[in-house]
Structure 1
């Protein structure tokens, strides 16, 4: 830094301000310092800085070994937001989730000197494992769990899954008739909340409930449910699928049988995953803003490091209406 200051003709403190993005540096001075940094090939020594600040600018992220849209998009959204905020991210992917695995993973991160730990926790077992951790650094759970584990070190952020389900159900109810819910696996918080939101909106509307169908998350599961509904001869007028992959499988089954989605049956999914606007027909769905979720988790982690209280923060979802529910 002294070499950079000498080359740029500024003080050591000015170089420090430029490196830390301080707003008080004049643009021409900042440009001169950045040119000196480029000419000298300067790189900040993170290890030395950590000794002074007692911060490593590194966060550990625990994520389930899943290729599903929600956990994967959550990880990408958080990593991007953390990098913009100046943090390095170290990721641990876990296949077996229990208290001992979570403890060992946390110890692995603590040995690296991380400032905090982020856990992507879509299921009951992951949240329970987090609740058993005794961590000296803050933990931020990205999860729709309704409960934050006790203790000041655990915080939670998520998308309001229940509200998203209510938006989807209300949209279908406005088209007329009862709504069948094809629900995801009930050990997932998202699936629990989407089922509860569907139920609450139907009850609020005074509509008779159709027994929900609980299945997995995949398109194959949706296809199997679609075939079963067709074979029963009792196809509902409206279906709310717990995610877009289930809706894709349902569309396939109905297409094979000559049932027109958007005309004979109205269909809504959840997630607005890439490609859902190109389903046949394009899918009405509930959008989750994973980039904003990542930014929220990053700001909550910073607040936690500054001593903020344990809290739960929730983002609103958005209904995206397309042709699959155009029957009107």
Structure 2
């Protein structure tokens, strides 16, 4: 008995010793992953800058001779665009979100949007933000779907209004979506319906998402403040972007009136905005073509689009990446 007594005090502690390193390793692993996520946006910025040195140099040279006051006005319209995006995000969700953090998340989402096409980066950042605010996954996903649906609908309605009141609408030509685009959209919807009908594992989550989205949409449209934030912000976003293009054009001497620049931007974005290209490359090409069709020299139209991307994408890229890293580090995302 005496030989066993020294082991009895240590026997309860002995099974705890192998678990102690595991417990300490878990926070270290989480910290390593968090640091990697913090530096990932900065790495993306560096890679993008190295692979686009010529474009950045040409844009900087052309903008060096531009009117700085008009460029400052374009920067102001760009900042208002993040406010409008925050309004749409809030309008698509019944729960109230902290305005400051919501605005910061949308600023950071702009930097993340350069890594993935078709707005996937921005949606991923917003989804992480909503989950961190305690929003259930189905409601957060439904708000992203509503956001993605309202934006093109509002943009098309604004375009139709400008086409109706502006003589530039007669000169749009093939940039306005015609029956072929509607046919492609109908085929895509039919294929999606067939996939849902055949693949049973997808049916339950998709029908649950649709049920939640419809319930939230009914609830949101019963609140005037949410309706104003959702549809007002969605209509303001393309108008503010178009005003940025017009401001840069005025700074560079673009010989196209302001209303026609707005119509050109809305038409280009509506016609080819669904193309999944990072940074809106297809929209940029269509915008240059439309401005040239409206009477602008190709060089000036190209410089205007480059200046637009400098103000809306390239200039906020590094600050947006820093904000994204800060939000990840503070566990907001």
Instruction: Place the TM-score, normalised by the shorter chain, in its bin.
Output: under 0.3
Question: Which structure shows the bigger proportion of residues in strand conformation?
Answer: 1
Greater RCO (Cα-Cα under 8 Å, separation 6 or more): 2
- The TM-score with structure 1 as length reference comes to 0.24
